[in-house]
Amino acid sequence: MKYVPRIVLFLAIPALLFLVPWWTLIGATTDGALFWLGSAIFLAGFVCLPAAMFLGHGPQQHDAASIVGDTLLGLMWVVFSWSVLGNVVGLGLSVSGVDDPARSRIVAAGVFVIAAALSVWGVVEARRVPRVRTLDVAIRGLGPALDGLRMVVITDTHYAALDRLRWSEKVVDVVNAQQPDIACHAGDLADGSVEKRHRQVDPLGKIEAPLGRFYITGNHEYFGDAAGWIEHMTSIGWQPLHNQHETITRGDDRLVLAGIDDPTGVGLPGHGPDLPAALAGADSNAPVVLLAHQPRQVIEAAAAGVALQISGHTHGGQIWPFHYLVRLEQPVVAGLSRHGEHTQLYTSRGTGFWGPQFRVFAPSEITVLVLRGA
């Protein structure tokens, strides 16, 4: 009985995702054979979605099922969102004196065209090599020898069931073209075990950054094999910052680069964010740049006087209008923001995508942060 609420929620969400579009596209606009055919298609989708998600992301981790489930989830989120907006437009048409069946058919046609176009565009956006976003960030206390330091940030690559080996190789080419001094991966490296995903991850070992390549865990590592990924990233030349720091030195000037675990790590012995441990022994006169996967970790970072926190996790919402829900949990969805008196936070929209291979109004990015003396 303790699983009943979870099962109800697991089925209620797909029911809502399918019911509103069904009414908008089928129930209010068709009859006869077309009504029954459309209803059968929606019913099949409703049954398929939870089944595929369970088979793909449950204990069996079946890759083909996860691809089907994730794609269907993304598609239905797009259709659901625009169906809701379409029905709002329908109310406006009703007030304006447009009666059924014309009103419902206008709404259905608009929803179908917009959802179809955005779905195709969303897949193209998700699968493309990310655009480069370059941003100067003023760091209080940064010495002149470190002024102009180039930090290239990738995050939320989410290597998973879809084989993106070639995409990974192209990302490495773009990163190297930016001539980074430091390369950072801010977590959510892959979904799945090292054995299943390492081929997609291994090209990251070819990234060139003379002052170091640094990696932290995201929440998705803790859904799988965080310890295994930490070990694997070490084996391909990346330094995990597991609640620890490194001092970057150029000339007589220093910068502390620290990293902390994702909050979900508390379930694994020896893991979980520990900022005091990460900064223990750090030069108190050097500014601190912190890698922390989730933007909400900036509260503790600001209290500790961190100059800049670099995060991912949000994907910029990934599929509009999901960013409104993300904002309920995180203080920032994307971009550079200020927290407290001296702390800045840069939140990346992510380099890859999670689950549905869709990005709608939330383009992926490879970020170049050029550190400047304040």
What are the pLDDT digits (tens) for 286-326?
999 999 999 999 999 999 999 999 999 999 999 999 999 99
Q: What is the pLDDT of residues 122-161, one digit of tens each?
A: 999 999 999 999 999 999 999 999 999 999 999 999 999 9
Q: Note the pLDDT of residue 184.
A: 98
Q: Would you say 346 and 336 are in contact if contact means Cβ atoms under 8 Å apart?
A: yes
Q: What is the mean pLDDT of residues 238-261?
A: 97
Give the span between the Cα atoms of 255 and 1, in whole angstroms: 54
pTM of the model: 0.94
Sort residue 147 into left (φ over 0), alpha (ψ -120 to 50) or beta.
Answer: beta
* Cβ-based neighbours of 85, under 8 Å, separated by 6 or more: 111
Q: Which of 337, 372, 352, 364 is nearest to 150 (CA)?
A: 372
Mean pLDDT of 61-68: 94
Distance of CA 11 to the CA centre of its chain: 24
* pLDDT of amino acid 12: 86
Contact between 365 and 80 under an 8 Å Cβ cutoff? The reply is no
Question: In this model, does residue 62 exceed pLDDT 90?
Answer: yes
Classify residue 193 as left (phi > 0), alpha (psi -120 to 50) or beta. Answer: beta
Q: Sort strands 131-139 and 365-373 into parallel, antiparallel or unpaired.
A: parallel
Where does the pLDDT of residue 5 fall: very low under 50, low under 70, confident under 90, or very high at 90 and above? confident
Task: State yes or no: cis peptide before 321, omega within 30 of 0.
Answer: yes
Beta 239-240 vs 365-373: how paired, if at all?
unpaired
In this prediction, residue 3 has a pLDDT band, given cuts at 50, 70 and 90, of low
Tokens 């930490």 belong to which residue? 230
Is residue 191 over pLDDT 80? Answer: yes
Q: Residue 3 CA to chain centroid, in angstroms?
A: 28
In a 10 Å sphere around its CB, with 0-12 CB exposed, 13-18 middle and 19+ buried, how is residue 305 labelled?
middle
pLDDT at 334: 98
Written as one letter, the residue type at 87 is N
| Residue 189 and residue 159 in contact, taking contact as beta carbons nearer than 8 Å | yes
Return the structure tokens found at 294: 């989730």
